[in-house]
Amino acid sequence: MNDKVSDLVDQMKRCGYKVTNQRELILKEFTEKGGHLSAQEVYENVRKVIPHISLTTIYRNIEMLIDIGVLCPVELASASDGSALYEINRIHDHHHHLVCTKCGKIIEFNMCLFQEIGKKLSSITQFKIDEHRLKVFGRCPKCQHGR
């Protein structure tokens, strides 16, 4: 179990959840691929180690990990299929996504000019603003040919 995973396992413990092989492996998936994974993808990978794991367990634990702030949903209809994607919640690493509309490739970036808009917006609307997401769609270098 690498450092990243054990940090997250600790966080889970502190929240009163038990440590299971299933949970460790799910966390391992998210830290290793560093990526944007669907429940199905996590399932298929973890299954190589625990063949009898249930997809239900994946869904349940992703939800739990979102509750305690370890994961967060990527909030994109993942290009082709309609399933949700999740990633490690890097709370101090504000970032947005650039998505290729052809192949689904996701690039992260952290340029952001939201502060200026945010203040105006909350004074005009009287909303308490908690969060924002910028999604940019385009075609990656490989997918630019033939509209």
Could you list the residues that contact its own copies (CB under 8 A)? 75, 77, 98, 100-101, 107, 109, 111-114, 116-118, 120-122, 124-141, 144
Nearest distance from residue 19's CB to DNA, in Å? 4
Task: Return the closest-CA partner of residue 26 out of 83, 87, 79.
Answer: 87
Residue 75 touches which of its own copies, DNA, none (Cβ within 5-8 Å per kind): its own copies
Q: How far apart are CA 49 and CA 141, in angstroms?
A: 36
Q: Which string of x and - marks every residue 34-73 that binds DNA (by CB under 7 A)?
A: ----xxx---------x-xxxxxx-xxx-x----------
Contact 62, 71 (CB under 8 A): yes
Tell how strand 96-100 and strand 86-88 pair up.
Answer: unpaired
- Which lies closer to DNA via its Cβ, residue 81 or residue 93? 81
Cα→Cα distances 35→16, 64, 126, Å:
26, 18, 36
Residues in contact with DNA by CB under 7 A are: 13, 17-23, 38-40, 50, 52-57, 59-61, 63, 81-84
